[in-house]
Chains A and B, each alone.
Chain A
Amino acid sequence: MTEELKSKHNKNILLVENIYTYFKTESGVVKALDGVSFDIRENESVGIVGESGCGKTVTSRSILRILPKNGETVAGQIFYKGVDLLKLPEHLMRVVRGKEIALLFQDPLSALNPVLSIREQMVDVIKLHRKVNESEAAELAINMMRQVGIPEPEQRIDDYPHQYSGGMRQRILIARALALQPDLLIADEPTTALDVTIQAQVLKIIKDMREKLGLSLMLITHNLGVVSENTDRIHIFYGGRVVESGPTREIFKDPHHPYTIALLESIPAFDRKEKQLKTIPGSVPQLINPPPGCRFHPRCEFATEICKTRPTLEKFSEDRFVACFHVEEVLKSRKSKS
């Protein structure tokens, strides 16, 4: 390990270095992740943002090594607390999953077993990872359920998933994930299936629990509002790569990458008066046969010949990284417009 990496590990809980995850399909190899690098610092809330098919979910699966059978992380390193997860033997990986890194799914119904009571599902998981007996585990589960705001947890723990509403199910999953005291919580679109008022409740719980337990959070979402309000830093994904990363506030105020700019302009903002929304010409790249070089160049107004070679994610200013050859021009044109 290089000195530079070591110093990075001091403040990083997770450091993803240049990972490539490919899927073999009948029509060819899908390059779902094509050299993704990013980091999550201790006690930090980091957003992973991008449109469907950009590799957000594959990233979380690659970190936990729970890819489908046809998928494989073929290169790169994933350091969790300085340990390369890709080299870890499976029996140790099973300790990492849940106990160290917990995963929260998008669809709370399919993440729970419909034929087991909540008690069975919570107690089993807690007993597997922590040295407690049945009644202690149940007590822990009830305590956790109370903390995430489930009324009368002593009675409700014996209910089945279908007896809970969507928001309550997501609370159960949060309680189950946090009962193991993980240090990193990966939340994969945790509120996409929920209504806005329920979404607000769930996000509040995640925030409160994060403060209480000193947890790091990796929040995967396509909802720019959710990341804006709930994260410290964001990494923007496009076509299986990170195109821009930096502090949330700065990126929203002053995006550098042409894709980020286009993405932010395409959302209907509350204070925007003009009726025409900006759109991005073309469509998201096919990852079986992606465009060469910068994945965004066929849709980018700044693209030139050089964009057919691959831009690297480079430091632009303090804490801000952009993968674009034309950052200076992009910023200049933005300035002249405003």
Chain B
Amino acid sequence: MDSSQENMPQINHDQDLDFFPGTPTGKDKDVVLELRNLRKYFPIKSQSIFLSKVVGQIKAVDGVDLQLLKGEILGLVGESGCGKSTLSKTIVGLEKPTTGEVWYRDINFNKTKDRKSIKTFQRNVQMVFQDPYNSLNPRRLVIDTLKEPLQIHGLAKGNRDEEVYSILKKVGLEDYHAFRYPHEFSGGQRQRIGLARALILKSEVIIADEPVSALDVSVQASILNLMLDLRDEFNISLIFIAHDLSVVKHISDRVAVMYLGKIVEIGPTDKVFDKPAHPYTVSLLSAIPFPDPDIKKKEIILEGDVPSPINLPKGCRFVTRCYKAQERCKEEEPILTEMSENQWAACFFPEMEPVIFFDVKEEQK
């Protein structure tokens, strides 16, 4: 590895860390995916023609610890530039982490040299992309797109066509759709094909990066229903990345809120949405417009934009926009602490107050 890691904060992660922030404790939990202190830094090079020198680093993902349980949907929210997409790419191996490890069950994907282990990881950790228009090869029939993962992993020899038909059926498409090209489908149908491609390997973990944000609401609803059905049927685990909080609230069992490369709050969906602890979660919830005129909420409008991940503020990364910021926040970086059972947040002055009020009368007292 390169020398750039030397001045990085080192957390000593034991082989079997007995707790992870936000994961329900318990002996019988079935962890399928584990991220240990995952970091992804992108170097910034000086613009010299002859000698390119690294002058800084973009800290896209800056120390993420996370466990994903069997059959669980974990929602990952945050604004653009918070590192959601980089994190998902780093998990599936499209980006190499700067430090840290991604574990699928007992396979350390970033350390293992064993080809079989790598294949097992790749077969079990699949990704669904945001844009259903660009993530399918326009010159390939759907059947060829769907058969390719089976060929790569040498699965279902002899009856691959049947596998394709059966998975198409699962995602709500028909046999004859297999012999069409991507352009013959609508956006929602294409996203179904994207899901079919991830599911055909019977993966245990699916990373879905904004899978519904390019779709209209009525189509979005059918894809969300489909994802919930597929989860129940195959008992897959999902990391569901989205910026739309109502979608995340609807689909996920647990939520992680990211800000500038770090998880600032994580916990069971109901808890995080009912009584958010981190001021950033509070302001996110306050900022979403609700399609219900009777909902009232605390009005907190954040000032300014997300700061650049190159020059991170010292102390808490949210300090530049936080409405509760104190001197301490500028000096010291808060770490994830348990605020209520299984709800963890990285803040010295947590809120723990409801932001959204469904019953207006009650709130007006």
Contact = CB atoms under 8 A, between A and B. Distances in A.
A51 B218 contact: yes
B273 A196 contact: no
B301 A204 contact: yes
Interface string B291-314: 111110000011101100000000
B222 A279 contact: yes
Interface stretch (B87-95, B192-200, B242-250, B336-344): B242-250
A51 B289 contact: no
Contacts of A275: 228, 250
Contacts, number: 117
B273 A197 contact: no
A203 B163 CA distance: 49
Given A222-B217, A275-B228, A276-B225, A196 B295 contact: no
A269 B246 CA distance: 6
Interface stretch (A37-45, A136-144, A260-268): A260-268
B5 interface: no
A269 B292 contact: yes
A229 interface: yes
A199 to B, nearest CB: 7
A266 B220 contact: yes
A150 to B, nearest CB: 11
B216 interface: yes
A196 B217 contact: no
A270 B186 contact: no
Interface residues of A, number: 45
Query: Looking at B79, B221, B251, B289, which has the most chain A CB atoms within 10 Å of its CB?
Result: B289
Given A197-B283, A263-B217, A270-B273, A224 B225 contact: no
A252 B293 contact: yes
Contact of A270 (B80, B284, B358): B358
Interface in B145-190: 186, 188
A195 B225 contact: no
Contact of B79 (A197, A262, A280, A283): A197
Interface residues of B, number: 41
A248 B293 contact: yes
B287 A200 contact: yes
Interface in A166-201: 167-168, 195-201
Nearest to B300: A200
Given A278-B221, A279-B221, A51 B216 contact: yes
B245 A196 contact: yes
Contacts of B349: none
Interface in A196-253: 196-201, 203-204, 222-230, 248-249, 252-253
Contacts of B230: none
A138 to B, nearest CB: 25
B234 interface: no
Contact of A228 (B283, B284, B289): B289
Contacts of A248: 293
B358 A196 contact: no
B287 A199 contact: yes
A3 interface: no
Given A167-B305, A200-B301, A279-B222, A269 B287 contact: no
Contact of B290 (A165, A199, A228, A264): A228
Contacts of A196: 79, 243, 245, 284, 287-288
B277 interface: no
B356 interface: yes
A229 B287 CA distance: 11
A197 B292 CA distance: 19
B224 interface: yes
B287 A264 contact: no
A266 B217 contact: yes
Contacts of B294: 253
Interface string B344-362: 0000000000001010000
B133 to A, nearest CB: 13
Contacts of B218: 51, 262-263, 266, 279-280
Query: Looking at B220, B250, B292, which has the most chain A CB atoms within 10 Å of its CB?
Result: B292
A52 interface: yes
Contacts of A278: 221
A271 interface: yes
Query: Looking at A249, A277, A280, which has the most chain B CB atoms within 10 Å of its CB?
Result: A277
B79 A279 contact: no
Contact of A165 (B221, B245, B305): B305
Interface in B246-272: 246-247, 249-251
Nearest to A280: B218
A226 B251 CA distance: 21
Contacts of B79: 195-198
B96 to A, nearest CB: 28
Interface string A42-62: 000000000110000000000
A20 B203 CA distance: 51
8 contacts: A224-B291, A225-B289, A226-B289, A262-B218, A266-B218, A270-B358, A271-B295, A277-B225
Interface of A: 51-52, 165, 167-168, 195-201, 203-204, 222-230, 248-249, 252-253, 262-264, 266-272, 275-280, 283-284
State the 9 A-B residue pairs at the shortest beta-carbon distance, nearest first.
A225-B289, A268-B250, A224-B291, A266-B221, A200-B287, A195-B79, A277-B221, A51-B216, A279-B222
Given A252-B292, A267-B291, A268-B246, 20 more contacts: A196-B243, A196-B288, A197-B284, A199-B287, A200-B289, A201-B302, A225-B289, A225-B291, A226-B289, A228-B289, A252-B291, A253-B293, A264-B291, A267-B221, A268-B247, A268-B251, A269-B246, A270-B295, A270-B356, A278-B221
